[in-house]
Amino acid sequence: MRFAAVAAGLLLAVPWAAVPAPVQAQATAPAAASKQAIEAAAALARDVSEQTVADAGPSAGAAPIGATYAQDLPPAIDARLSALALDASQVSVYLHRLDADAPLLAVDADASRVPASVIKLVSTIAGLGMLGSDYRWHTTAYIHGQVRDGHLIGDLIIKGFGDPYLGTEAYAALIRAVRAKGIEHIDGDLIFDDSQIMPAEADRADFDGAPHRSYNALPSALSVNRQVTHVHVYHDRSRRRVGVYTDPPLTAVDIVNEASIVEAPCKGRFHRLRVTVETPPESRPSLRVAGSFAGECPDERIARLVLSPEQHAAAAFDALWRQYGGSIGGRVLLGRRPEQAAPFHEAISRPLGEVIRDINKQSDNLMARMLFLALGIEAAGAPGSTAKSRRALQAWLDENELRLPQLVIDNGSGLSRETRISARGLGELLVWAYRQPFMPELLASLAVVGVDGTLAKRMRHEPIVGKAHLKSGTLRDASCIAGYVLDAEGRRWALVVLVNAIPGQSLQAWRGHAVHHDVLRWVYDGARLPETATAGVQPASAR
């Protein structure tokens, strides 16, 4: 049992673990490295890539026998790299017109690169292929006892099965259904079962020392509202003060409101809010809201990870249960569902074809990891683990003759610096996926350039706006895009652009974005290459 609560009041009356010290930030190197360093890194990358391909043999991404394609960037794009403090050795591009048998362009396409969140494409394509677009998760309420005159004489168990997006509304609907089916008071214990997924080995602070940032949520079988507490801050005009509430409501967290109203326009110099999470070792956690709120600003919503997944689910259940007039006589525990417990109500998730829109358009790391874990659970049973999912993914790739020799997948999301893939492997996976029955769901899940998702503000005043469906990915050492582009002549292309830093370099996102945009403009304009671009290129079978 990881936590317990008293019967009459607030939950989670346990000592709270201190927040681990943030990991030391990596020193930032100059954006432009020396020419010698660039050349050395390029030589090493070529050696590693060539040896990897030689060891692995031909991949499913290799061009058809006898096919030729350009292996150099278009001259205008290549010429721009030096102005961006980048070298050609840092860039991989793969471009394949979807009605063609072979790619038009494959620049350093077999190099093993860090893909950042672009790796979510592998997770979502595999999810659609292995589970189907109508796959759904469920969250189940069980009773261990009897219901008499509104009283549950026994325990209520809430078991999570890994729903990636069990939002506050869906969770509240589950609670209302339990009430509507006749339970007003729980005489026994309220038990939360998260055994469907193995506990995460990592800590929320491990990746970048920011344990309260929402992107650092770790997988849990029962993740309410993606484990996020949304702190809503607003101008309470009736009381002439700053108002604060949380979604979902939580009974185990204190709100310390120190913010003040400033009668001023909604500008940064007047509107300066700070929301911090405090977790004293021997008392309840608190959310501290401080700073100034400009009176003319609209309501603001700030996302934070405040509690562990199971504490978050329990605190939200208790708050909502009591709001609806329910009461609990026993404890609140983390445990396993007794075998004799009977299903009482089941909440069904949205279908996978809809869920992946949040994964790809908004680049949600937790949801991608939960989907990745579902692959292993469906193939090998619970509890889910990354090891099971990696094996299941590899078996599926083999079954479909999709060989990606450079693929190294960590957790199914972009929040990893160990994940690797090649532009060719990902590009040919995109070509294959476009020819599958689930293509419409995959295409609809991708951010549209200049329109929505992570690409809403990119290239929004250019002709390509609305014509490219892409997944973007950014880390300190990687800036990448991949997906589908419709050119000005109505032809659709599969495109992958992976830009990586070299050792000792910190890759600012805008530099990678500039490369992406140059390539996208070129593709939209027809992807025209100089007549000599493929001259002297050996057929794939001869290399």
Kindly report, residue by residue over 325-381, the tens digit of the pLDDT: 999 999 999 999 999 999 999 999 999 999 999 999 999 999 999 999 999 999 999
Same domain, 299 and 315: no
Residue ranges making up the domain that contains 162? 138-203+309-349
- How far, in Å, CA of 4 to CA of 1, rounded? 7
Q: How far is CA 139 from CA 174, 333, 372, in A?
A: 9, 17, 18
Query: How many angstroms separate the Cα of 541 from the Cα of each of 46, 58, 63, 282, 537?
Result: 19, 9, 8, 67, 11
Residues 398 and 345 in one domain: no
Q: Containing H/E element for 260?
A: strand 260-262
Q: 54 lies in a domain?
A: yes
Higher pLDDT, 231 or 48: 231
Please check the confidence at residue 542 and state whether its pLDDT lies above 60. Answer: no
437 lies in the same domain as 487: yes
Sheet strands side by side (includes 447-448): 105-107, 91-97, 492-500, 478-486, 468-475, 447-448
Is 237 within the bounds of a domain?
yes
For residue 383, say if its preceding peptide bond is cis, omega within 30 degrees of 0.
Answer: yes
pLDDT of 521 over the 90 cut? yes
Q: What is the pTM of this model?
A: 0.85
Q: What percent of the chain has pLDDT over 90?
A: 79
Q: How far apart are CA 260 and CA 238, in angstroms?
A: 14
Task: Please give the average per-residue pLDDT across 440-448, as a whole number.
Answer: 98
The answer to whether residues 253 and 295 belong to one domain is yes
> In this predicted structure, what is the pLDDT of residue 69?
87
Give the integer Cα–Cα distance in Å for 111 and 173: 49
Q: Which of 349, 377, 403 is the last residue of a domain?
A: 349
**Domain for residue 10, yes or no?**
no
Q: Are residues 257 and 118 in the same domain?
A: no
Give, as one character, the DSSP assignment of residue 161. Answer: -
Which pLDDT score, from 0 to 100, does residue 283 have? 84
For the chain, give the number of residues: 543
pLDDT band, very low/low/confident/very high, at 281 (cuts 50, 70, 90): confident
Q: In this structure, are 148 and 194 located in the same domain?
A: yes
Together in a domain, 194 and 257: no
540 lies in some domain:
no
Structure tokens at 45: 């990358």
Strand-pair partners of 234: 243
- What mean pLDDT do residues 77-81 have? 96
At a CB cut-off of 8 Å and minimum separation 6, what does 532 contact?
none
Which residues make Cβ contacts (< 8 Å) with residue 181, sequence separation at least 6? 344, 345
Q: Is the pLDDT of residue 533 over 70?
A: no
Domain count, the chain: 3
Smallest CA-to-CA distance from 355 within 368, 342, 374 is with 368
> Is 492 found in the same domain as 395?
yes
CATH number at residue 421: 3.40.710.10
Q: Please indicate, yes or no, whether residues 341 and 357 belong to a single structural domain of this protein.
A: no
Mean pLDDT to the nearest integer, 48-63: 37
Instruction: Kindly indicate the confidence band of residue 8, based on its pLDDT and cuts at 50, 70 and 90.
Output: very low
Average pLDDT across the chain, whole number: 87
User: Cα Rg for the chain, rounded, in angstroms?
Assistant: 26
**Same domain, yes or no: 287 and 327:** no
Q: Which of 317, 349, 381 is the last residue of a domain?
A: 349
Asked if residue 57 is part of any domain, the answer here is yes
pLDDT class for 201, splitting at 50, 70, 90?
confident
Are 376 and 491 part of one and the same domain? yes
Residue 510's nearest CA partner among 133, 18, 11, 85 is 85
Task: Write down the pLDDT at residue 534.
Answer: 53
What CATH number is attached to the domain comprising 144?
A: 3.50.80.20
Three-point CA angle 120, 121, 123, nearest 5°: 65
Whether residue 222 lies inside any domain: the answer is no
Residue 527 CA to residue 300 CA, distance in Å, equals: 44
Q: What is the pLDDT of residues 137-165, one digit of tens each?
A: 999 999 999 999 999 999 999 999 999 98
Q: Flag whether 217 is in a domain.
A: no
Answer whether residue 441 shows pLDDT above 60. Answer: yes
- pLDDT-based confidence at 202, cuts 50/70/90? confident
Q: Report the run of H or E that residue 473 belongs to, with start and end.
A: strand 468-475
Same domain, 335 and 461: no
126: pLDDT strictly greater than 90: yes
* Model confidence pLDDT, tens digit, residues 478-520: 999 999 999 999 999 999 999 999 988 889 999 999 999 999 9
- Residue 262, domain member (yes or no): yes
